[in-house]
Amino acid sequence: MGEIEKRHVAALLDLDGHSCLGQVSEERRESDWVKHQIQDRYERLRAQDYLELIGELEADRRIALAVDHRPAHPDELADGMDVTDCPVCERETLAVSGIDDFGAGYGSGVCLVCSYVRSPDAAHGLALNHMLARYMDD
pLDDT at 17: 67
Tens-place pLDDT, residues 89-127: 999 899 988 888 888 888 899 999 999 999 999 998 888
pLDDT digits (tens, 9 = 90+) for 23-59: 656 666 677 888 999 999 999 999 999 999 999 999 9
Q: Check residue 19 and give its pLDDT.
A: 61
**Whose CA is closest to 88, among 64, 122, 120, 134?**
122
CB-based contacts of 69: which residues, under 8 Å, 6+ apart? 82, 83, 95, 112
- The answer to whether 93 touches 113, Cβ cutoff 8 Å, is yes
pTM: 0.71
CA-based nearest residue to 81, from 91, 95, 68, 65: 95
